[in-house]
Structure 1
Amino acid sequence: MTPALNAKDGVSVRLIEKVWFKNHQAKYWLVPLLLPITGLFYLISLVRRLAFRLGLLKSYKVAAPVIVVGNISVGGNGKTPVVIHLVELAKTLGLKPGVISRGYGSQADIYPYLLDEKSTSYQAGDEPLLIYQRCNIPVVIGADRVANAEKLIEHGCNIVISDDGLQHYRLQRDLELVIIDAKRLFGNGLLLPAGPLREGTWRLKEADLIIYNGNNSDHTKQLVSKPLFMTLAGCELIQVTTGEKMLLPDFIQQWQIVNAIAGIGEPQRFFDTLQTLGFDLATQQGFIDHKNFTVNDFVEFKADLPLLMTEKDAVKCRGFAQKNWWYLPVSAQFSEQDKDVLIQSINSFKV
């Protein structure tokens, strides 16, 4: 079953994604229509990069190492699980990490905004709240990433991890990690809005580490000599409101047939994961990324079946979730060799 998308959530968004990633026939009229805007986007991006390189626009170095985890394309590539993985690695190395984020869709009263136990997804955005609740470390959001980083340092952090912000050149960085969806790759290879790219694939050569979410080694060898590879894995389901946990085999033994929703960059990835784990999906519904859910979005799901969602969706549904709503937390998994590369990179910052 193909994930549905409500018209109110923007069918045009799904159409453009089909043009970008699925070679939809609309490309024959939509791409030519958008190419002039793409040319303008390229010019603005080029001038901006040159301005930073020539010192016409000032960049700032803060008093702690900065790791940027970003991508060159739009959509969910797996940045947040990598950020969480880096946080945990930094902790094991004796560092005090903090995370900064733009906080897409957030409505805080003041910025930079430091999350606390009372923060909501409305104030902070879904991904920052997820990171804060999962990692229990300082998280600061706001458009000014330099100010965000400085606020983290004020609160005792000695390493800053930026969730996204690869193109935010105002903040100097000590390490760049670019995350790539190995399935969707770079779509049609064009810059926004005719394609999904914020910057061309040439940008990969400037990054310190390239991490592929999934494995597409035939393609990676053409662009990156030594990429890292990760997979996303989960072993349990957690009830959205109570926090009750069940191991996947035990859950599947009781409820193999389930409903599923996902409001992420690539909803089908989540649905495919559930089916790979052994679930049969009675109904699946895909929503736009960063969807602000209301109870009305769930009226069509059968109450006699569990409803499974991503952790990112769950942080926005706790206020009205039902007892049969569960989420699947996932973690980034690396080979020992690739994990050592990450550890060595972080270790290089220790004094």
Structure 2
Amino acid sequence: MRVKQLLIRWLANSCPPGNPVLCRLNDFFAEKLLRWRHQRFDTGRITTTSVPVPIISVGSISIGGSGKTPAILALLYLLQQEKIAPAVLSRGYRRKIKGARLIPTMGAMHQLAADYGDEPLLFRYHFPEIPLAVAEKRIEGARLLLPVKPEIILLDDGFQHRFLQRDLDILVFKKEFAGSSARYFPCGELRDALFRLEAASLILLEKSASPELRGFLKQFAPIFDYEMVPQPPDSSLLKEPIAAFCGVASPKRFFETVKELGVLVADEIAFRDHTVYSPKILTRLQSLNARTYITTEKDFVKLPPYFLNQNYVQPIRWEMRISDSHKLLEKIKVVLNKYYIE
């Protein structure tokens, strides 16, 4: 196993996208390693563990922002409208506190984001009372949630985590996904094999995706279209000069959206995904002398109170609107009925 890990690390550090030889080598070994791993689960050599609560995984086979977080938020709204009690289980990427943990309902938002991860805190920001847990080993997190008696657990970014049995696997794709020509990271966006699409229960696909991508994906699972709809800021509260900043996987899309909303921005700053807003970074932002700061909700929850008190910050909210959401809800209810109706 150590040899495989060293090989993967070498490929990740030595495989520029412009080098076709190394990229083919990267694709060859990544495919072999992934097929070997998944066959161990498929043949039962590695066992999966189930819990007495339905599990719905929302994931992707590509790196970066594929839309998983907005998808979970959309599902949470659907479930709450139906009076179904959900919980969310996440890995808590780049969090300070390790192990399986329940996320408190109280506390400074920016500190909770640092301790438990920014995506879980975005769920807390929108749904203050929903049980949330983070765990590297998802089965430990699922067991931690059982005492609060959720009727369903949404598994955030869980498609690759096969140790925990799930009842539905939802995959999310943006329109930019390369489809059948996708290559493995770092030469491309894949972090899992294309053959794994066969395990998808359903696919959420951006409505404006090309016919070619749609045709490729529909052979694996039913497709539900979605649109990402930004909510415009209150223009009466915006004072110039305005600065926009973010630390997300697709900063270009964020800045384009801000412009499309009619906001005249004087400065744009893009930080790396999952950025921790240290005093140094906040000082850099304040040096812009902006009267209004525009950012994403994911970044907003990580800002400390003193920065918010000294500056006017307006987060832009994106809402995922899923076509035929009632049909998606029907699929979820079929799963629920297996557990709660004899």
TM-score clears 0.5: yes
Query: Which 5+ residue runs of structure 1 have no aligned equivalent?
Result: 1-15, 21-25, 238-247
Code of the residue aligned with 2:295 in structure 1: it is M
Equivalent residues of 2:17, 2:188 under 8 A apart = no
Offset at 1:68? Answer: 0.5
Name the counterpart of 2:303.
317
Contact kept in structure 2, 1:256 and 1:279, CA below 8 Å: no
Q: Give the secondary-structure state (helix, strand or coil) at the position aligned to 1:107.
A: coil
Aligned-pair distance for 1:318?
2.6
* CA–CA distance in structure 1, aligned partners of residues 210 and 18 of structure 2: 30
- CA offset digits 1:13-47 (Å, max 9, x no partner): xxx9xxx9xxxxx6333x53354344333222111
- Which range moved further: 207-216 or 159-168? 207-216
Give how far 1:262 is off: 1.2
- Conserved 8 A contact 2:179-2:217: no
Change (3 A) 1:317 1:185: farther
Tell me if the contact between 1:188 and 1:195 (Cα under 8 Å) persists in the aligned partners: no
Shift of the 141–27 alpha-carbon distance from structure 1 to 2, 3 Å rule, reads same
Cα offset, 1:263, TM superposition: 0.6
Contact 1:73–1:186 at 8 Å: present in 2 too?
Answer: no
One-letter code of the match for 1:123? D
After superposition, the Cα gap between the structure-2 partners of 1:224 and 1:34, relative to the gap in structure 1 and judged at 3 Å, is closer
- Structure 1 CA distance, aligned partners of 2:114 and 2:260? 33
1:232 shift after superposition: 2.0
1:347 to 318, 323, 333: 333
- Deviating more after overlay: 254-263 vs 89-98: 254-263
Q: Select the residue among 48, 52, 66 that pairs with 2:41.
A: 52
Q: 1:228 to 1:332 in 2, by over 3 A?
A: same
Secondary structure of the residue aligned to 2:18 is: helix
Summarize the alignment of residues 43-82 of structure 1 with structure 2, pairs less than 5 Å apart: 43-82=32-71
How many residue pairs get aligned? The number is: 312
Amino acid at match of 1:174: D
Quickly say closer, same or farther: Cα 1:41–1:201, change in 2 above 3 A.
closer
For 1:156, give the aligned amino acid.
K
Corresponding position of 1:271: 255
Task: Report the AA paired with residue 293 of structure 2.
Answer: L
2:125 counterpart residue number = 133
Q: Percent identity?
A: 26
Richer in helix (by share): 2
- 1:235 and 1:75 mapped to 2: Cα distance? 22
1:212-241 Cα shifts (integer Å, max 9, x gaps) = 23411412332133421212223354xxxx
Structure-1 residue corresponding to 2:192: 199
- The CA deviation at 1:332 is 1.1
Shift of 1:52: 0.7
Question: Of the candidates 55, 74, 86, which is equivalent to residue 75 of structure 2?
Answer: 86
**Structure 1 residues 54, 184: CA separation in 2 closer, same or farther (over 3 Å shift)?**
closer
CA-CA distance at 1:258 after TM superposition: 2.1
Q: Which residue of 1 aligns with 2:171?
A: 178
Other-structure match for 1:142: 135
- Confirm or deny: 8 A CA contact 2:240 2:290 kept in the other structure: no
Report how far residue 265 of structure 1 moved. Answer: 0.9
**Which stretches in structure 2 are left out of the alignment for 5+ residues?**
1-11
1:82-110 Cα deviation digits (max 9, x unpaired): 101111211222221000111100111x5
Question: 8 Å contact 1:52–1:169 — kept in the other structure?
Answer: yes
Question: 1:185 Cα deviation (Å)?
Answer: 4.2
The aligned amino acid for 2:296 is T
CA deviation after TM superposition for structure 1 residue 130, in Å: 1.1
What does the per-residue CA deviation read over 1:290-323, in whole Å, with 9 as the maximum and x for residues that have no partner? 1112232242552243111101111111344232
> How far apart are the structure 2 equivalents of 1:134 and 1:221?
31
Query: Aligned partners of 2:204 and 2:91: how far apart in 1?
Result: 21
The answer as to whether partners of 2:241 and 2:290 remain within 8 angstroms in 1 is no
| 8 Å contact from structure 1 (residues 212, 228) kept in 2 | yes
Aligned AA for 1:344?
E
Alignment equivalent of 2:17, drawn from 10, 21, 27? 27
Structure 1: how far apart are the matches of 2:280 and 2:178? 34
Q: In structure 1, how many angstroms separate the alpha carbons of the residues matched to 2:66 and 2:75?
A: 16
**Matches of 1:249 and 1:229 in 2, distance apart?**
30
C-alpha contact (below 8 Å) 2:86/2:151 kept by paired residues: yes
Query: The residue matched to 2:266 in structure 1 has which SS?
Result: strand
In the TM superposition, what is the alpha-carbon distance from 1:138 to its structure 2 partner?
Answer: 0.7
Q: Does 1:331 align with 2:324?
A: no
Q: Which one is further off, 214-223 or 149-158? A: 214-223
Q: Please show how residues 99-178 of structure 1 align to structure 2 within 5 Å.
A: 99-108=88-97, 111-116=99-104, 117-118=106-107, 120-136=112-128, 137-178=130-171
- Distance, in Å, in 2 between the alignment partners of 1:79 and 1:33 is 30
Specify whether residues 256 and 278 from structure 1 end up closer, same or farther in structure 2 by C-alpha distance, changes over 3 A only.
farther
